[in-house]
A = this chain, B = another copy of it.
Amino acid sequence: MTITAATPQERMRSARTASRSLGLLTDAAKADLLRGIADAIDANVTVIVAANTEDVARGRADGLTPGLVDRLTLDEARVRSLAAAVRDVAELPDPVGRVLDDRVLDNGLHLQKVSVPFGVIGSIYEARPNVTVDIAALALRSGNAVVLRGGSAAQSSNAALISVMRGALADAGVDPEAIQTVDDFGRDGARALMRARGLVDVLVPRGSAQLIETVVTESSVPVIETGAGVVHIVLDASAPLEWATDIVVNAKVQRPSVCNAVETLLVHRDAAARLVPPVVAALQAQGVTVHGDATTAALASGVVAATAEDWATEHMSLDISVRIVDGLDDALAHIREYSTQHTESIITADDAVAERFLAEVDAAVVMVNASTRFTDGGEFGFGAEVGISTQKLHARGPMGLPELTTTKWLARGAGQIRA
């Protein structure tokens, strides 16, 4: 179902109007709505893949890297897995209507703090058409309307997906204006979204550190920052070798391109001779390039000299930076300087060291003796992941559906006035 409104502002106003009825839908109605969207995506695989083929051809002609082309591409299997993901979100519990506080004042006034949808959620993201479906499904499941701005390289795919989803809304008797895109306005669409105070309640950027920085800096709409992860693992003097090796290899190798992969290893000087050679060898055996400081290079072979830049770099590849530190204070100082406050872990057999690390590190998730790859909504048991917040306002760490709601106080009285 195509969009007719001519300006970003008109579309956002339509989304706001639609959000009112959406916010009143029952749990069952929202779940049905999502199942309808999943069915519609399945029924329109051919149309969606055809639209995507245009984007991919244009992307290749424009010289997109193979990695970006891969993220852009939708074949039949990927479209069907998108539909399946929407069905999974349908099965999650309704985050709306939870009673979070309940108190009766001495004068009999009954106060309840309940969870309610934000209203309109905006998202700015890169050329990954799966995010279009993902965010729309999460927003609708939590009773919100959504205004999407994906990367221009995915414009045809996004238009097809949004048209299919809007059709499913209309079929379910829900206002199709609840899903909007401002893709066709290019940068002006993004700008309108970032300045849409009063029309859009919260903006969730998803993508590169640069995209997130732009959105945070230019938005007057409240933003939930997600993503960037310069993630550290500290090997304490007491770190058991087996945990050190297993956890570091898992955190680096299992999926190097994601934000919870480790980027920098900090090794206590007293354990360097014991731990560096086997840990580096285990990493190298998995194809990891180790960027080390001078001490690391002296302890293991095949180590590339780390540059000053490495410490601040989210490699997102089979690269890891290794530095020898003088102890816990030195490790904490390094983390303070370079951490993006996503996830930090320490491997130690010393409880006092563990508890100090947990208390003093300022990050969304602080771990002891575990792989940083666990920072994930699915692993945490949330069922769906909106993103991983690396800021301190509203939500911190993996965000599930409840983080797409706000609260409202309801006060039921019988004539109470203030003395």
**Interface of A: prevailing SS:** mixed
Which stretch from A72-80, A240-248, A264-272 is at the chain B interface? Answer: A240-248
Q: A250-B417, A366-B408 are in contact. Are A394 and B394 (CB under 8 A)?
A: yes
Contact of A417 among B359, B368, B371, B416 (CB under 8 A): B371
Residue of B nearest to A391 (CB): B222
Per-residue contact bits, chain A 194-209, to B (CB 8 Å; 1 contact, 0 not): 0001000110000000
Q: How far is the CA of A365 from the CA of B375 in the complex (A)?
A: 35
Q: A392-B201, A397-B409 are in contact. Are A416 and B371 (CB under 8 A)?
A: yes
CB distance A109 to B370 under 8 Å?
yes
A414 within 8 A of B: yes
Q: How far is the CA of A379 from the CA of B358 in the complex (A)?
A: 36
Residue of B nearest to A332 (CB): B20
A380 within 8 A of B: yes
Per-residue contact bits, chain A 337-379, to B (CB 8 Å; 1 contact, 0 not): 0000000010000000010001110111111111101110001
Q: How far is the CA of A217 from the CA of B219 in the complex (A)?
A: 8
Q: How far is the CA of A354 from the CA of B217 in the complex (A)?
A: 42
Report the copy number of this chain in the oligomer: 2
The 6 closest A-B pairs by CB, nearest first: A370-B413, A250-B417, A392-B406, A373-B418, A367-B411, A243-B415
Contacts of A398 in B (CB 8 A): 409
Q: How far is the CA of A216 from the CA of B359 in the complex (A)?
A: 32
Contacts of A415 in B (CB 8 A): 240, 242-243, 246-247, 369-370
Enumerate A235-259 residues with CB–CB distance to B below 8 Å. 240, 242-243, 246-247, 250-251, 254
Enumerate A108-139 residues with CB–CB distance to B below 8 Å. 109, 111, 113, 116, 118-119
Contacts of A217 in B (CB 8 A): 197, 220
A280 within 8 A of B: no
A291 within 8 A of B: no
A166 within 8 A of B: no
Q: A222-B391, A222-B393, A392-B119 are in contact. Are A416 and B364 (CB under 8 A)?
A: no
Q: How far is the CA of A417 from the CA of B248 in the complex (A)?
A: 9
CB distance A374 to B416 under 8 Å?
yes
Contacts of A246 in B (CB 8 A): 415, 417
Q: How far is the CA of A109 from the CA of B368 in the complex (A)?
A: 10
